[in-house]
Structure 1
Amino acid sequence: MGINENVVRAGAAWTAVAATVPYLTLKLLWLTGHPVGVDDPGAMDRLWLLNLLTFGMDAIAVALALAFVRPWGRRAPAGLVAFPMWVATGLLGTILVALPLYLLSLLVLGPEPADPEDKGLGGWVFLVVYGGFAVQGLALLTAFALYARRRWAGLLRERIGDLPGSPTLTVQRVLACVAALLAAGVAAGRAYWALGGTAGLPQVMAEDRNRGVAVMNGVTAVMAVAAVAALLVLVFRIRPGRRLLVPLLVVWTAAGSLFGWGGWQLVAFGATTTRVTELRMAVPGLTPLVQTAQVVAAVLVLAVGAIALTERGGLRPAAAVESRG
């Protein structure tokens, strides 16, 4: 590996750390009773738990960035790095896709009409938060790609046909098909809501629809289709001469998006004590069901990947012993 790659990886990792500073600072101010940029100061008291959770999530991103450049990061158990990075890839990767689409909608369609009764966050907060997420996402994903290339180079060079035969391949295929059915339902529901449909939405959410929510629904629908399509390519060994890297990246990012955003929406729904209370008093609609289906589909994808990688890891030492014998 050339020195330039080390420099790029270190620069990307430290850029990711720097990009978390504005967000962590803002969250720390809110947690300590300083509602900077908030039109309704009392809302921060009701959102204390969510602010604490999001502060912790960004702090984990800092730890991941450090793991990609510090010696202890190479020695850390693979799962301890891979699982939080899978979630981070899903969360940040979705923002990197959705944010340009949302900004494009503003450019083409103009800004949405403001609600004079909506006491939310100042406009500059959106720029600080999502601008930071965009920089953080690009930097962290770059650092991780170079880290993965160094730690798991053998896997990334393989082709689909190189995947070993597996005694659990039938189980993997069944799990993948169940995930595909769930993801198809998620994609249909999210696409319907993205196109303006309101059936299945709680009344308050139907009334408060905006372009940003529509874009996120559309992106989630695409992620649902992409995750299971790439997984089916892998478990059914479609086009065995194809490089493993592309479907692996797709399933990694898209399934992480389903898990990260579906899980976050479920947690936020349960932890928020302001408007969510109104939602619970109304008919909850299908949103919790769709969010749960997202998470379950992603967990099934994760299970298939964990089984396959565990078996692959077990076969490599065995093959090495046989070759020496």
Structure 2
Amino acid sequence: MDRLDRAGRLAAYGAAAAMAPYAVIKVVWVVGAVAGLLPIGEGFGLAGWVVLNTVTIGMAGIGITMALALVRPWGMRLPGPLVAFVAWVGSGFLVAMLPYAVLDSLLGGSGGDEPQGESGGASMPGWEAVLIQVSFVGMGLGLAIALPAYLRRRWPDAFAGRVGDDGGGVPRRVLWAAGLGAVIGSVWLYWAVGGPAGVAHPADRNADWRLLNGVCGLWALAASVATWALSRSRPARLPRWVPLTFGWLGAGSLFAWSGWKLPLTLYVAVADPADTSLPENLTVAAGLHAAAVAAGAVMLPTLVRRRGRGITAPELPGAAS
């Protein structure tokens, strides 16, 4: 067991432990609301509040199970592509929260409206808010370290060697996807620094919006650069696991965040709710998110490719057992 594998195992346990307080808090909210001992979140009825928090309890349970699957022996017996995909999407969601949470704390709060589903209303104690943030940051950091370590244990051939020593070369569509990811990331960074093009409601821009655009833009660029690096046909000194790690996390961020934002953008465009507006031009935003989902999905197979092979069921270690 080398240092990366040891760090990955510790990170997986840490991710599961970090998410546990969030799950406990949500259980307390549900039980307390049903028993009439705790207030219901502002804007919710009892049924809606219970359903919302029950769903998030389930999501937390899935996150804890996934983290343990990356380190426990039974995780190696689960269908490899399923584990890899779920962890890829989950880490893609959470990895963007790490620098966002740090920058948001350094800036003393961004002034954006906290989602009511997480706030529990104005009466939520400060320590609960801290625990919730620690849970998300801990899970994101843990998966960011544990996922590459798990993938390397399960498919060591994909991570072995150095960039270009397999002859490189990728399908043209992958290079187009990498270029598209770079364009999308550049647009998000442009908005993050205050660029006005494509922004329909400048007054709605706040620090939260700028930070998330900046973080997601950087991860989009990381995915593109990593994919280009892995397409090299000439050997380089860079170990293959470095661009693979950043590529996995960056492509996951592209796919997961835009996969969540696209339905929200379409809902706002179609329903035009009076209490919700987005700073971006909705047509531009929807196009960017759709392109980001496609780019992340196209880049993914290249990130698990090794001498023409990828993560497929017949190649799984111990698949016959």
TM-score over 0.5 (shorter chain): yes
Deviation at 1:305, TM superposition (A): 3.5
Decide whether aligned partners of structure 1 residues 268 and 32 sit closer, same or farther in structure 2, where only a CA change above 3 A counts.
farther
Residues paired across the two proteins, number: 300
User: What does residue 321 of structure 1 align with?
Assistant: none
For residues 313 and 281 of structure 1, the distance between their equivalents in structure 2, rounded to whole angstroms, comes to 39
Task: Report whether the alignment pairs 1:256 with 2:252.
Answer: yes
What does 1:285-324 align with in structure 2 at a 5 Å threshold?
285-305=283-303, 308-309=305-306, 311-312=308-309
CA contact (8 A) 1:164 1:312 kept: no
User: What does residue 150 of structure 1 align with?
Assistant: 153
CA contact (8 A) 1:202 1:285 kept: no
For residues 98 and 293 of structure 1, the distance between their equivalents in structure 2, rounded to whole angstroms, comes to 23
For residues 88 and 222 of structure 2, the distance between their equivalents in structure 1, rounded to whole angstroms, comes to 16
Decide whether aligned partners of structure 1 residues 284 and 49 sit closer, same or farther in structure 2, where only a CA change above 3 A counts.
farther
User: What does residue 183 of structure 2 align with?
Assistant: 185
Deviation at 1:66, TM superposition (A): 2.1
Task: Report whether the alignment pairs 1:225 with 2:221.
Answer: yes
TM-score of the aligned structures, taking structure 1 as reference length: 0.74
Decide whether aligned partners of structure 1 residues 49 and 176 sit closer, same or farther in structure 2, where only a CA change above 3 A counts.
farther
Decide whether aligned partners of structure 1 residues 234 and 21 sit closer, same or farther in structure 2, where only a CA change above 3 A counts.
same
Greater Cα shift, 81-90 or 122-131:
122-131
TM-score of the aligned structures, taking structure 2 as reference length: 0.75
Deviation at 1:17, TM superposition (A): 2.0
Give the one of 234, 237, 244 matched to 2:230. Answer: 234
For residues 241 and 166 of structure 2, the distance between their equivalents in structure 1, rounded to whole angstroms, comes to 12
Deviation at 1:85, TM superposition (A): 1.3
User: What does residue 19 of structure 2 align with?
Assistant: 20
Corresponding letter in the other structure for 2:130: L
Alpha-carbon displacement from aligned partner over 1:171-218 (angstroms, at most 9, x marks no partner): x34112321332233123212221224543454xx4332212211101
- C-alpha RMSD of the superposition: 4.0
Structure 1 residue matching 2:139: 3-state secondary structure: helix
Alpha-carbon displacement from aligned partner over 1:263-315 (angstroms, at most 9, x marks no partner): 1222445679xx97235899734222222221111111114335x3583369x
Decide whether aligned partners of structure 1 residues 113 and 146 sit closer, same or farther in structure 2, where only a CA change above 3 A counts.
closer
Corresponding letter in the other structure for 1:178: W
Identity %: 32
Structure 2 residue matching 1:263: 3-state secondary structure: helix
In structure 2, the gaps of 5 or more residues are: 316-321
Greater Cα shift, 223-232 or 237-246:
237-246
More helix by share: 1
CA contact (8 A) 1:30 1:44 kept: no
CA contact (8 A) 1:9 1:146 kept: yes
For residues 271 and 85 of structure 1, the distance between their equivalents in structure 2, rounded to whole angstroms, comes to 27
Give the one of 199, 211, 214 matched to 2:210. Answer: 214
CA contact (8 A) 1:175 1:304 kept: no
In structure 1, the gaps of 5 or more residues are: 319-325
CA contact (8 A) 1:9 1:143 kept: yes
Structure 1 residue matching 2:282: 3-state secondary structure: coil
For residues 155 and 182 of structure 1, the distance between their equivalents in structure 2, rounded to whole angstroms, comes to 24
